[in-house]
Structure formats: structure tokens, C-alpha cells
Structure 1
Amino acid sequence: MRSMVMTGATRGIGLIAAQELLRRDRDLHLVILARGAGPAGFADRLRAISDHVTVIDTDLADVASIRAGAARILQLVDDGTIPPLQGFAGNAGVQFVDNVHVTGDGLETTFAVNIYANHLLIDLLRHRFVAPARVVITVSDTHFGDFRHTGGLVPAPQWTSPEAIARRSAFPEPKTVTAGRMAYSTSKLGAIYLVHEWARRLPDGVDIVSYNPSLVPGTGLAREASRRDQFVNRWILPMLALTPFADRISTAGRKLADAIVGTVAAPSGAYIDRTREVPSSDESYDPARERALWDYLQSLASANA
């Protein structure tokens, strides 16, 4: 028996992946962190597949809530209620139509959820990981910033410094959709930096990779956006799911499950694009930025301990 912790498992590709993981491995105990313990009925759908499901109320935009959720996991492991930890899947992510949302801890919310929450959970849980263990962080090919990867819907990331992008209004015209999407693509670039730095620091037998689901129509990318983008999201993107350029939610969820269990062979620190290991963007390989981000996140963790 083994346990895996997962965020972003209450809907979309995360829910599909969680169902797939439980179907594939009857010895897996899935621990899901979800705000408000998730939407009504989602846990019942999982427990219809396996009884080995624990849901812990955790708000990933709240540092105290993350710490409480992690403490509860460690307590369950230590008292033998759940099996040893052999993985973490950080699939949760947010995107806003502006760059002005702030958490109660004073961080811009996109940064807080897409980068800091993953870092803090890895840091709090890593001493209980039993090798072989695997950490998977869901990222996005929007970090490339070109038309081939974004279709013109998401602007390129603009990395400055961790201290800057962690604050509201870090991007031009912060009350616009463009700024919100820029915060998103920049956070996904940061998540890859995080994976690279943790790959250097985690012990042998504990691997970490990033997973890119690529274009998945129906995930709400263009909601509350311009009429043009809403039209594209509603009518054009679903047709792309019939081509090699995009995946349906069900397909992307199964591929996420493959990444989590290691079906796709990839070394620690690698970038998995759907079903294969490929290089991420040139900009995503920057040891100085990776170290600076890790140091800043550790400073936040120390300040909020």
C-alpha cells in the first residue's frame, strides 16, 4: 500500500486522472487537498471506484490552511491511518481576468496558488516521501509564449524577479484580461523553474517532473474574456480536440495519470509534453532564476512558519 497526495482533483483533467489512478492501482490511497473539501459529490465518485480516498479541506491560497493540511497528512502517515507517502501531484492552478487578486497573506493569487503552494507542500511533505517516490507539477506550454503554443490567446511570460511577480499589479494594465493571462503564463514558467531546482535538492529515489497537458478545450481558459476569445473557446477550440493539436478532457486526464505513475520515462527535472519527454522553452532553463525563486519561496515559508 502507498499514498499519494493530489491537488486539483475535484474537476476537469484532475478528476479524470484521480479516477484513473484509483482504477489502475487498488493498493493506492489517494489524499486529496481541496478547498471546502471539494464540490458536492466528487468524493463519492472516487469512492465508488475505491474506498482508499481521504479528502482534506485545504485552501491553496492560504498559507495557514496549507500548513494545516500538510500537518494532517503527516499525522495520518505517522499514526498508520494511511500508508507511506510515495508521491505528490500538484495539479491545481488558477487564472484570472486581471492581475489584482491578492491572498490574505499579501501575495498575488496566481503566484500563490500556481507556484508557492506547490513549493510549500513539497517542502512540508518531502521528509516523509518513501523512495521510489514521484512528484508531478502540472504546467502549461503557454510558458513558450509563441503563437504555436498559445494560439494567440495567452501573452508571453514576463519574468522579472520573484519578489515582483509575487505582488499584485506586476504586469502592465493590471486590470485587464491580458495582465491576468500574463500572470498565468509567467507562473507556469516559474513552476518549471521550481521543478528544476527541486530536482537538484530532492534525495535519490524521489523524482520530480513537470507535465504539460497542452491545449484542452473546455477548461475555461477564455471565460469572462473578450467576445472574440469566447467565440474561439466555444466553437473553434472544441473542434481542435479532433486533431493532434489538442486533447479532450478525458484524454488529457488519462495522460496526466500516466505522468503521475511514471508510464512516460523521464529523468527528474524533465518536462513531459502529454506523452513524451521534450525540452521546455529556452527561457525555462536558467539556474540563476531557479535558485533565486527557490530562495525567495523559502524566505516566505520561514516568515510564515
Structure 2
Amino acid sequence: MAFSIVMTGASRGIGRVAAERILERAADAHLVVAGRESTTAKVAAELSAGGRAVSHVAVDLGSMASVREAAAEIGRRLDGGELPPLRGFVGNAGIQHTDALTESADGFEATFAVNVLANHLFLRLLEGRLTAPARVVITVSDTHFGDFRHNLGMVPAPVWQAPEALARTGAFPKPNSTAAGRTAYSTSKLAAIYLVHEYARRLPEGIEVIAYNPGFVPGTDLARNADAVSRFAMRRLLPAMTVTPLATDLASAGRNLGDVVTGAIAAPSGSYVDRDHVAPSSQESYDPAREAELWDVAERLTAVESLDR
């Protein structure tokens, strides 16, 4: 029976590979790619080759108003029968900036806005439309461990603070530095894991939520806002590390994400999938008090409680 999966971050990198994998493994899936109009329309057309069911919806994940509009549009298509029942949401889009001063359209720190708040709002708006059995997958990062083995010395460890502070610019020392931008990134991925744990407690029975870590994947566009030297290293030098256990090649990371989404990689709700298997996330990532506090702040900042759901 046909069903829909909504996916952000499907236009490039591991997301593009994952989208292909989902359509390959789930022949009945209608994939809705959500992203900027300038790219997702083209991606949807390419993915639909051979008669596969793919459509797109425009969204700017840096704008909470745009996320609301996209969710409402998906709802209209579901209600009108244009889309089959919704059984999946993939929050794969992510951003990393070279400072901790960049603001989103709503005045939030941009990394936190896209990597945490946009996923939260999108999922909360679509939650009531998910039909069990359903699976939600949020792409996270092993940078949240904060040690050399996971970060290779390239990304500082997360620095947890009150969520209200993390949502605003200037939360970290030397906020105009690349180090602060990367700290904002690792901290946002820790926050995403906290929310996955909270979703697992709150989502209805039959709706699973998984945190997926692709590992260090050189060659993606995540560092597109970095300096020229860093971009060159990511695209030309560091891909050689994929022959070691320290990194994952783009194709494998994308296939693994697709397999998590389709259930080919089994994982209980609330779990952390490290590449292709369930594993513990960092010790710091298990903190019910932080999870509950972050949930409350994310609800308030995205005005979920004021929406007619």
C-alpha cells in the first residue's frame, strides 16, 4: 500500500544517496523532498525518473514561518488525496557556520535554528498526520562525543548551556571565530539527540524515532561556509580517510541512512544508529532533565502550543 515520506536535505550529499536508496527499497513510497525551491524542484524531477513517486515542497528551514507553510501544504495534499498516508519524516538537513553570530530569519542563532528548531517544528506539525507504523529519523553527528576519536580534533566538544542561551547568537567564547561556529554545530547535534529521546517518550505507539549518525563523511557540502583551505581539505584531501575506520564514504553513509528510514537497519525507538548499527551515544547525551528542559524551550520558541493542531 502506498505511503508518503517527507525528507529534508535530499538535494545533495548523503541525503541525495539516501533518497535514491529509499525509492529503491520502498517501491510503494511517495517521497516528498522539502527544501529551497531553487534546488528541490530539480531534484524531485531527477528522482522521479522511471516513474517513481516523488514530489517537492518549498521550505526555508531557517524560517519558522516557512516551516509552518510547508507543513500546511503537506497537510493539504494529504487531505486532498494527492499524497498517500504519511508514514515517515526524515530530518536530514543541517548547517554549520564559521561563527556563532549568524542569525536566522527569526533572530535565532542560525545553526540551532536549522539543526534543532526547524526539525522540532516540522515534526510537531506533522506528528498528528503520521500513520502507524511510521518512522522518524533525525540525522545527528558523532561530534557530540567531543573527543578526538570521534571529532579527529577538527570540531570542539559541545558546550551545553540553558537552551534559551543556545538559541541566541554569541553563546560561546569568541563568537566570531570558526571554533565557536563548530562548537555551535556539535552542541546542536547533542540537542537533537536529547529531543530524539524526548520524542520517543511522547510520540504515539507505533511511531518510532531514531537518531542516525553517518560518521565523519568527507566530501559533503557541510563545510560550504568554511574558509577556502578547509573546503579544499574536505573535498580533496580528507576523502582519503574513508579507507580507514575513522571516516565513512559518502555513498555508504547515504545508503545507511536510507536503510534506517526503510527499516532495513532495525533500531528501537529512541535509539542511536552509528553508521549501520545501534550503539550508545555519548554519556552526556542521556540526561532526562536536559531533555525535558529543551523540549519546553523548543515548544515555546517555535510557538507549538499556540498552533491549532
Name the TM-score class by shorter chain: over 0.9
Structure 2 CA distance for aligned equivalents of residues 16 and 129 of structure 1: 24
Q: What is aligned with 2:97?
A: 96
Across the aligned residues of Structure 1 and Structure 2, the Cα RMSD in angstroms comes to 1.7
- Separation of aligned partners in 1, 2:225 and 2:167: 23
Cα distance change of structure 1 residues 50 and 245 upon mapping to structure 2, 3 Å threshold: farther
Residues 294-303 or 69-78, more deviating: 294-303
Provide the secondary structure at the position in 2 that maps to 1:9: coil
Instruction: Name the TM-score, length of structure 1 as normaliser.
Output: 0.95
Q: Secondary structure at the match of 1:71?
A: helix
For 2:149, give the aligned amino acid: R
Aligned to 2:146: 145
Query: How many aligned positions are there?
Result: 305
SS, match of residue 207 in structure 1: strand
Residue 291 (structure 1) aligns with: 292
**Mapping for residues 234-249 of structure 1, pairs under 5 Å:** 234-249=235-250
Where do residues 135-284 of structure 1 align in structure 2 (5 Å cutoff)?
A: 135-222=136-223, 225=226, 229=230, 232-284=233-285
1:244 is displaced (CA, Å) by: 2.8
Q: 1:90 touches 1:118 (CA, 8 Å); kept in 2? A: yes
Q: 1:228 to 1:73 in 2, by over 3 A?
A: closer
Post-superposition CA distance 1:251-278 (Å, at most 9, x none): 1110110111112221110000011000
For residue 221 of structure 1, report the CA deviation from its aligned partner. Answer: 4.8
Q: Distance in 2 between matches of 1:224 and 1:21?
A: 29
Give the match for residue 127 of structure 1.
128
Aligned 8 A contact 2:220 2:234 in 1: no
Query: Cα 1:230–1:91, aligned 2, differ >3 Å: closer, same or farther?
Result: closer
Farther-moved stretch of structure 1 (244-253 vs 282-291): 244-253
- Is 1:11 aligned to residue 12 of structure 2? yes
Once the two structures are superposed, residues 25-48 of structure 1 have per-residue CA deviations (whole angstroms, 9 ceiling, x without a partner) of 221100111112526732222011
Return the alpha-carbon distance in structure 1 between the equivalents of residues 294 and 97 of structure 2: 22
Going from structure 1 to structure 2, the CA distance change for 1:220 and 1:10 (only over 3 Å counts) comes to closer
Distance verdict in 2 for CA 1:21–1:222, change over 3 Å = closer
Q: Give the CA deviation at 1:102.
A: 0.6
What one-letter code is carried by the residue in structure 2 that aligns with 1:140? S
TM-score, structure 2 as length reference = 0.94
Determine the structure 1 residue equivalent to 2:44: 43
Alpha-carbon contact 2:141-2:215 (below 8 Å) kept: yes
Percent identity between the two aligned chains: 54
